[in-house]
Amino acid sequence: MNELDQLVKMANQIAANFSYHEDCAERLATHINRFWAPVMRQQLKDHASSGARDLDAAVLQSLDKIHT
């Protein structure tokens, strides 16, 4: 599994953990902003903007709240 695959897997797992909260996307963005390095956040955003279909809907909803 390459680095990008790992990032996608982790983002989707975080989304699954927060999926029971009404503010899932906000919590997801907060977590990623706190614990992921800027380069990791940028890779996730670049992957999403390339038309990725392997990201959870909550991950996609959180992208505008993720800082790079």
7 neighbors 46 (Cβ within 8 angstroms): no
Res 1: pLDDT: 87
Angle at 63 between CA 36 and CA 30, to 5 degrees: 50
pLDDT in tens, 6-40: 999 999 999 999 999 999 999 999 999 999 999 99
Provide the domain count of the chain: 1
pLDDT in tens, 50-62: 999 999 999 999 9
Residues of the domain holding 7: 3-65
Q: How far is CA 39 from the centre of its chain?
A: 13
CA 27, 4, 41, 33 dihedral sign is positive
